[in-house]
Amino acid sequence: MIYFVYGNDTYRLKKTVDAMREKYEDSSGMNSCVFDGNYDIEKIRSDVMSLPFLADKRLVIIKNILGAKGIDGKKMIEILDKKPDSTVMLFIEEGEPDKRTSLFKRLMKEKSKELNLLQGGELLKWIKAEAEKNGGTIETKEANMLAGYYGGDLWQLKNEIQKLISYDKKITEESIDKLSVANVNVKIFDLTDAITAKNREKAFKILSDLLDSGENEMYILSMIQWQVRNLALVYDLKDSNERDIASKAKMNPYIVKKTLSATRKIESLDTIKAYYGLIIGAENDIKTGVKDPDISLELLVNKLTD
C-alpha cells in the first residue's frame, strides 16, 4: 500500500505520520525507516524491497521529496512499481508540491489526500471535538470566536483549548477574552479599532506591544493589510445583519462582529482606499530598504491615525 498526503496543515500531516507509525511500527524499530532530507535512492530502494523481520508489514516514510533537488523521478517510480506487498509507504509533503512532476502524478494514483487548513464548518467541528476530547465543552459562538482568533492553526488552537479547559471545563467568551488576549490577531482587531477611532496613543501602545513580543514587522504589516481588506468587504454590507454579512462575504462570524465596530467609524470607502495606499507605501519602503521596518510601521500608524 502507498499513501500520499500533502498540504499546508502541518498538524494533520503530523497526526497522519503518528497514526501510521502506531499502526505499523513495532518495539524493535527494525521494520520502519524515515527519509527526510537525505534521499539516497539506492538506500530507499533497499529499505523498500527488504522484507519485514518477524512482522507482517514494513513501513517506509518519505518526507518532502517532491521539493528536493536532484531526485530521479523515474527511479522512484520504478521503486514504487516493484514494491513488495509487505512494504507500506507513506509520502508526506508540506505545502503545495509541484504538480507537474511525474512522481507527483504517479503518487496521485495511489491513496492520496490533500490536507489544507480547515475553515468554516469543518474547523468549528474540529474545535468542538477537540474540546470534548479534552473533557470540556464549547458552543458555536465561542468556537467561532477561537476560529476568528487563530484561523486554521490547529497547533495553536489545540494549545488554547487545553489552556481554556484547564481554567474552566466550559469554554466561554469571558474565559477566551481573559486567557487569549495575547494573540496577534486579537491585537490587530484592537489596532484597527484604534486607527478608525483616530486614537493614536492607543494605536501606538498596541503596535509597541506587538513589536516587544517579538512579532515580525512584515507579518504585522500583512495582518494590518488583511484587516483593512476585511473592512472593505464589510463596509458595503454594513447595513445588513452579521449573519448575512458573514454569508455574503464568506467570513468568520466573529471576524465580522469585530470588523463591524471599526467599519462604522469610517466615513467612506475612500478612507479604506487611502489606508491601502499607505500600507503599500510602507511595504515598499521596507522591501527596498528605504526605511527600517519598525520605523516604517511607526510612520504608517502615525499616518493612519491622522
Question: 262 with 219, same domain?
Answer: yes
Over its C-alpha atoms, the chain yields an Rg (Å, rounded) of: 24
Mean of the per-residue pLDDT values for the chain?
Answer: 88
Question: 141 with 224, same domain?
Answer: no
Helix (H, G, I), strand (E, B) or coil at 91: strand
Average pLDDT over residues 86-112: 92
Question: 59 with 153, same domain?
Answer: no
Give the span between the Cα atoms of 149 and 154, in whole angstroms. Answer: 12
Give the span between the Cα atoms of 49 and 87, in whole angstroms. Answer: 7
Question: 282 with 260, same domain?
Answer: yes
pLDDT at 181: 56
For the stretch 65-98, pLDDT in tens is: 998 888 888 999 999 999 999 999 999 999 888 8
Its pTM stands at 0.69
pLDDT at 85: 92
Q: Do residues 192 and 158 touch, judged by C-beta distance below 8 A?
A: no
**Sequence-distant (≥ 6) Cβ neighbours of residue 258 within 8 angstroms:** 148, 189
Question: 239 with 175, same domain?
Answer: no
Task: For residue 230, give the nearest of 199, 197, 185, 267 by alpha carbon.
Answer: 185
For the stretch 127-174, pLDDT in tens is: 999 999 999 999 998 998 888 888 888 998 999 999 999 999 999 988
Question: 188 with 268, same domain?
Answer: yes
- Residues facing 306 on adjacent strands: none
pLDDT at 82: 92
- Residues facing 6 on adjacent strands: 93, 114
Domain count, the chain: 3
pLDDT at 106: 92
Domain of residue 251, residue span: 184-304
**Sequence-distant (≥ 6) Cβ neighbours of residue 33 within 8 angstroms:** 47, 59, 60, 61
For residue 297, give the C-alpha cell. Answer: 510601521
Question: 39 with 96, same domain?
Answer: yes
Question: 73 with 86, same domain?
Answer: yes
